[in-house]
Amino acid sequence: MDWRVRLLGKLMPDNMIVGKSPSQIARLQKPRPHSFLMDLVAGSMKPGVTVEDGVARGGDGHIPVRSYRPTALSGTLPLIVLIHGGGWTVGTLNQYDSMASSIALAADAVVVSLDYRLAPSHPWPAAAEDCYAAFVDVVSRARQWGADGSRVALVGDSAGGNLSAVTAMLVRDRGGPAIALQALLYPATDLTLSSPSVIENATMPVLKRPTLEAYVALYVPDPADRADPTASPLLAEDHAGLPPALVQVAELDPVRDDGLRYAEALQAAGVPVRFTEYVGMPHGYLAFPRFARSATQAFSELVRELRTHLAPG
């Protein structure tokens, strides 16, 4: 294991969620301004983007969104909707400023980041409904950001990868705009926690099994609901007709096999898939570019796939 991954594991608290009360978790959910430590771990906002805060329709009311547009580019650009990670329980727009602004600049696209409702105050299916409703709303208003609503991609990491997969499925089943690519980065797709890697990588850095179990329990408190496709997209009866996918996984991740199994399910249903496993990497590697040696390669792959699928027809 790379020494930087070991260092990252020491910097990431093992008990951030485990054993915390709802009031303690609520304090963790409050948006925090950028700080030296946050930017050291997760990266900072990249210069050269115009950033605007706004709102989009959610599952029950409106949710905050933040757009990122390359300042130097004019005209109509492709649209990328980003759904952040954080175990459905934490995660803020500020924490994803680096990733969102980096994608906007590298892909020559407008990125709109969604700030959905979080558990435990808003358990499943609140986040899924927020992301679906906001995705449809944002695409319908693409011109507001100088974006092309006919060239759209979904990107999500971790819990955001879960919600991106669910959103793509809901768009197929309920109706919505065409999705050129769903980029699922180390996604959790089986909240019954049946993947072998949950046991194999139970004690690896960044995401350990007790933390994963705590996230799932907070998001979907009733175990009977965890097999629902809007919680566990892997367990859907039918994966046909879903958008082309990029699925990236990390070797040292408890949910590694969630991504692998989902990629296999998509391929079996005839969906075009590019699957990559990043050796020696922990969960969340793209969110920690200074600590994960493969982050640059993984980001380049993501941008290449976005550019390919969002190119004018």
- Secondary structure, 3-state, 141-169: CHHHHCEEEEEEEEEEECHHHHHHHHHHH
pLDDT of 2: 84
User: For residues 25 and 17, is the Cβ–Cβ distance under 8 A?
Assistant: yes
Please tell me which residue in 257, 283, 294, 309 is annotated as part of the active site.
283
How far apart, in Å, are the Cα atoms of 173 and each of 103, 177, 230?
Answer: 28, 12, 11
Q: Is 238 a catalytic residue?
A: no
β strands within 71-108, DSSP E: 77-83
Residue 294 among the catalytic residues: no
- Confirm if 180 and 50 have CB atoms less than 8 A apart: no
**pLDDT in the model for residue 36:** 64
Q: Choosing from 102, 113, 158, 164, which is the catalytic residue?
A: 158
Do 43 and 290 contact (CB within 8 A), yes or no? Answer: yes
Would you state the pLDDT for residue 40?
66
**Residues 115, 190, 228, 253: which is the catalytic one?**
253
Mind listing the pLDDT tens digit of every residue in the chain (313 residues)?
Answer: 788 888 878 777 666 788 888 899 988 888 777 676 666 666 688 999 999 999 999 999 999 999 999 999 999 999 999 999 999 999 999 999 999 999 999 999 999 999 999 999 999 999 999 999 999 999 999 999 999 999 999 999 999 999 999 999 999 999 999 999 999 999 999 999 999 999 999 999 999 999 999 999 999 999 999 999 999 999 999 999 999 999 999 999 999 999 999 999 999 999 999 999 999 999 999 988 888 889 999 999 999 999 999 999 7
Say what the pTM is: 0.95
- Tell me if residue 34 is catalytic: no
DSSP three-state, residue 263: helix
Judged on CB neighbours under 10 Å (0-12, 13-18, 19+), 34 is middle
d(CA 195, CA 260): 10
Q: How many CB atoms lie within 10 A of CB 18?
A: 14
pLDDT of residue 32: 76
Whole-number CA gyration radius for the chain: 18
